[in-house]
Amino acid sequence: MQYLPVCLKLRNTPVLLVGAGSIATRKARLLLRAGSDLTVVAPEITDELKQLLASHGGTWQPQVYRETDLHGRYLVIAATPDAAINAQVSAQAQSLNIPVNVVDAPELCTFIFPSIVDRDPLIVAISSSGTSPVLARQLRHRLDAMLPAAYGRLAEYAGGLRSRVKRAIPEEGPRRLFWERMLGGAVGEQVLAGREARANELLDEMLEDTEGLSCGEVYLVGAGPGDPDLMTFKAARLLQSADVVLYDRLVARPILEMARRDADRIYVGKRRDDHAVPQGEINQLLVDLALEGKRVVRLKGGDPFVFGRGGEEIELLARHRIPFQVVPGITAGNAAACYAGIPLTHRDHAQSVRFVTGHLKDGSTNLDWSTFQSESETLVFYMGLIGLPVICKQLQVHGRRADTPVALVERATLSEQRVITGTLATMADIVTREQPKAPTLIIVGNVVSLHEQLSWFGEH
């Protein structure tokens, strides 16, 4: 992160703007809206800027820039067409430890202006760290369309309640939960609709009944196969509301970074024969944290209910009557097949698909191989890389043709995804040569023959 986003309070603060063209006028408009005590230094000035200064009490000094103009300033912006003057302003401001921005010259800036979505007092800022202002503006336009104008009214309404809510709910955890339920529920909807009287009635009812806030809640969230863009909106929203996040090794780092910055993160990942935290302890930890009043996200790669042991975790939660939600995620079988250009079903090749775990609870591959012999069925093996030689051998022993196509999808949906293809007869030797690493998914069936024709992700 090259820049730390902050919000500056500029009301009645002395700010210097060097330059008075169209770009400088846009900067002046923002600075004056923020209530700054703005001084513009320039030999000439636009009519619009002159009117802005007159209406907001700013000052124009009709002269060329001098170093003494910096004295007593809190913030400096250089927006002249002369690169030498802009560089001079930057160097002199930095020598005095005054934050300085030079328009269209990131290398001369100690701060930059973000693109802003203004729902005062709610402000959303988007920055590309100076690398692509056009991209930041495009994102601003999208957010501008997504956020109703009434969000400013909702932010102002919430601001007026802070002292009252703090007195009614002294503990931070329950209070945060109250705010989320209030802003995202009926009270918030009434404020957005302009019906504050009704909102106040509902608010009074919520504050009279805060007992339910003492117990936390657990969210079993499917993080999907790795690409953050494949998470659901609900998964992202709950992740950002969590007090504690329990995550495993299959959760990509960018997804974990979507959690609230002050949330506790607890690694409970497991590898084959190496369980950092035994499953029973994970189950109990979810209960203990919820009983402390925490909102807990159990973040799982793929889908919680597809070889994710989510069922075991919610059994204990239900036994202790702890509220929970399960948020499905895109399971690795679907995602790996899609990103590898392998349709799991196809009218000409496969009319069914079966998801199979590559090893059982005791680490074996003790499967009923005789049921896997239909040529019109695709088999998808999870966690089967170690047992792949056994899988290939047993499928052939029980009737599958030796030339049945097989694909291994390594690190599915990520930039380093790799697809390795072969057959039941050749794949074990190919794996020995190529040395793929977990997580790797195995797809067996005639649909794999479509990979070269339909693949689109990465290089093959």
What are the structural domain ranges in the chain? 14-113, 151-213, 217-330, 333-454
Residue 231, marked binder? no
| pLDDT confidence tier of residue 388, bands split at 50, 70 and 90 | very high
Dump strand ranges (E) for 291-369: 295-300, 324-327, 352-357
451-459 mean pLDDT? 66
What is residue 25's predicted lDDT score, i.e. its pLDDT? Answer: 95
Residue 22, marked binder? yes
Can you tell me the distance from the alpha carbon of 349 to that of 82, in angstroms, rounded to the nearest whole number?
A: 68
How far lies 144's CA from each of 33, 117, 124, 189, in Å?
19, 6, 9, 19
For the domain bounded by 151-213, which CATH number is listed?
A: 1.10.8
Q: Which of 248, 300, 393, 429 is catalytic?
A: 248
What is residue 188's predicted lDDT score, i.e. its pLDDT? Answer: 87
Q: Which of 82, 270, 288, 393 is catalytic?
A: 270
What is residue 457's predicted lDDT score, i.e. its pLDDT? Answer: 47
CA 447 to chain CA centroid, Å, is: 34
Please calculate the CA angle 409-413-414 and round it to the nearest 5 degrees: 100
One CATH from 3.90.1150.10, 3.40.1010.10, 2.60.40.1180, 3.40.720.10 for 217-330: 3.40.1010.10
Is the pLDDT score of 184 beyond 80?
no
Mean pLDDT for the chain overall: 89
Residue where the block lists tokens 């495993």: 248
What is residue 61's predicted lDDT score, i.e. its pLDDT? Answer: 96
Secondary structure letter of residue 447 according to DSSP: G
Of 114-128, 255-269, 355-369, which gets the smallest average pLDDT? 355-369
The CATH class given to the 14-113 domain equals alpha beta
Nearest alpha carbon to residue 100 among 73, 72, 132: 73
Residue 225, marked binder? yes
Residue 356 phi/psi, 5° resolution? -135, 140
Digit-coded pLDDT (tens) for 93-115: 999 999 999 998 989 999 999 98
Residue 189 phi/psi, 5° resolution? -65, -40
pLDDT over 90 for what percent of the chain? 58
| pLDDT confidence tier of residue 214, bands split at 50, 70 and 90 | low
Residue 302, marked binder? yes
Residue 50 phi/psi, 5° resolution? -60, -40
* List of residues 6+ apart from 11 with CB closer than 8 A: 34, 35, 36
Contact 92, 70 (CB under 8 A): yes
141-160 mean pLDDT? 88
Residue 383, marked binder? yes
* Structure-model confidence comparison of residues 120 and 458, the more confident one: 120
Residue 303, marked binder? yes
- Output the DSSP codes for 241-274: H-SEEEE-TTS-HHHHTTS-TTSEEEE--EETTE
Can you tell me the distance from the alpha carbon of 396 to that of 118, in angstroms, rounded to the nearest whole number?
A: 64
Can you tell me the distance from the alpha carbon of 309 to that of 311, in angstroms, rounded to the nearest whole number?
A: 5
Residue where the block lists tokens 């939600």: 325
| pLDDT confidence tier of residue 429, bands split at 50, 70 and 90 | very high
Dump strand ranges (E) for 187-335: 217-222, 244-247, 264-267, 270-271, 274-275, 295-300, 324-327
Can you tell me the distance from the alpha carbon of 443 to that of 343, in angstroms, rounded to the nearest whole number?
A: 10
184-200 mean pLDDT? 86
Q: Does the active-site annotation cover 270? A: yes
Q: Strand pairing of 122-126 and 37-41?
A: unpaired
For the domain bounded by 333-454, which CATH number is listed?
A: 3.30.950.10
Nearest alpha carbon to residue 300 among 251, 235, 241: 251
Residue 332, marked binder? yes
